């Protein structure tokens, strides 16, 4: 048996810089891995995929799953059990992190190959801190910075595909993206509870609260509570789970 740790990624800023002829969006962002992680247990004598998740959002366990696709990409087989801790549909790259853990276990692949699994996979394979450009395949490693942060997770997710679709529709209507995360406004259109929650958090806790990637996880630099354990509050659109974490060097 082999145990792998798949660290979540946090997007500190996200700029959409253009769109290619094939429809994929060009971006520029800073990403870092954080201590929140999934656990994968591999049995090379078997061939299966099972996932244990505390989240309501479903995770498909078939040939489309990113872990199954990563195994095919590196021409390996294994029985894989995943214990999910990274929120599903939360913008923290959980599926990408799991796939990247498989790639690293198999010796790694070129970022231009890893991106075939998804735009976050090349960074998750690298880990640490990096400037990410192109569709996710151009990585510039940055010096590690130890940062504390607080994650805020609602009980709903946001579809990345729908978020980018909303972005394109807004741009077609003349909207100009701005701010640290160009996907915040599109994500709030896809999931109106997100706008309500962001506004409330910024008023009640800290005006610096940001959306992580395409959502729905939100975060703020620093620890909001001197304690260590997670806690829950009732937000304007449902329960919110707060947890404190830190950046990691790999």
Q: How far apart are CA 144 and CA 247, in angstroms?
A: 8
Q: How far apart are CA 28 and CA 140, in angstroms?
A: 11
Whether the model pTM is above 0.95? no
Of 38, 84, 98, 120, which is the active-site residue? 120
Looking at the structure, tell me whether residues 132 and 155 fall in a common domain.
no
Does the annotation count 120 as an active-site position? Answer: yes
Does the annotation count 84 as an active-site position? Answer: no
Looking at the structure, tell me whether residues 107 and 8 fall in a common domain.
yes
pLDDT digits (tens, 9 = 90+) for 97-142: 999 999 999 999 999 999 999 999 999 999 999 999 999 999 999 9
Range of the domain at 241: 148-246
Looking at the structure, tell me whether residues 133 and 214 fall in a common domain.
no
State yes or no: pLDDT of 57 exceeds 80.
no
Q: How many domains would you assign to the chain?
A: 2
Which one, of 18, 1, 10, 2, lies nearest residue 218 by Cα? 10
Looking at the structure, tell me whether residues 118 and 164 fall in a common domain.
no
Half-sphere exposure of 16 (CA within 13 A, CB side): 26
Residue of higher predicted confidence among 31 and 159: 31
Please say which residue of 141, 170, 197 terminates a domain.
141
Query: Which secondary-structure segment (H or E) carries 197?
Result: helix 192-204
Of 9, 38, 84, 98, which is the active-site residue? 9
Looking at the structure, tell me whether residues 128 and 152 fall in a common domain.
no
Banded model confidence at residue 202, pLDDT cuts 50, 70, 90:
very high
Q: What is the mean pLDDT of the chain?
A: 93
Please say which residue of 141, 156, 180 terminates a domain.
141
Looking at the structure, tell me whether residues 178 and 86 fall in a common domain.
no
Q: How far apart are CA 240 and CA 236, in angstroms?
A: 9
Q: What is the CATH number of the domain that holds 156?
A: 3.30.70
CA 245 vs. chain centroid, Å, equals 15
Looking at the structure, tell me whether residues 130 and 69 fall in a common domain.
yes
Whole-number pLDDT of residue 127: 96
Please say which residue of 87, 116, 141 terminates a domain.
141
Structure tokens at 27: 């971006």
């Amino acid at each position: 048996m082999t145990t792998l740790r798949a660290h979540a990624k946090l997007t500190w800023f996200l700029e959409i810089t253009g769109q290619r002829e094939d429809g994929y969006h060009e971006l520029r962002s800073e990403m870092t891995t954080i201590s929140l992680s999934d656990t994968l247990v591999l049995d090379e004598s078997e061939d299966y995929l099972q996932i244990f998740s505390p989240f309501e959002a479903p995770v498909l366990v078939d040939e489309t799953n990113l872990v199954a696709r990563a195994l095919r990409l590196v021409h390996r087989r294994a029985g894989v059990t995943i214990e999910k801790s990274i929120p599903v549909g939360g913008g923290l790259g959980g599926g990408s992190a799991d796939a990247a853990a498989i790639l690293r276990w198999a010796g790694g692949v070129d970022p231009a190959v890893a991106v075939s699994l998804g735009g976050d996979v090349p960074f998750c394979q690298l880990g640490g801190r990096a400037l990410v450009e192109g569709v996710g395949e151009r990585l510039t490693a940055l010096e590690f910075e130890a940062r504390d942060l607080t994650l805020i997770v609602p009980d709903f997710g946001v579809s990345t595909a729908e978020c980018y679709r909303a972005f394109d529709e807004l741009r077609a209507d003349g909207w100009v993206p701005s701010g640290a995360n160009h996907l915040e406004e599109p994500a709030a259109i896809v999931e109106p509870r997100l706008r309500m929650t962001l506004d409330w958090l910024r008023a009640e806790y800290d005006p610096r609260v940001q959306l992580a990637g395409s959502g729905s996880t939100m975060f703020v630099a620093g620890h909001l509570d001197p304690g260590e354990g997670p806690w829950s509050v009732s937000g304007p659109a449902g329960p919110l789970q707060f947890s404190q974490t830190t950046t990691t060097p790999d």
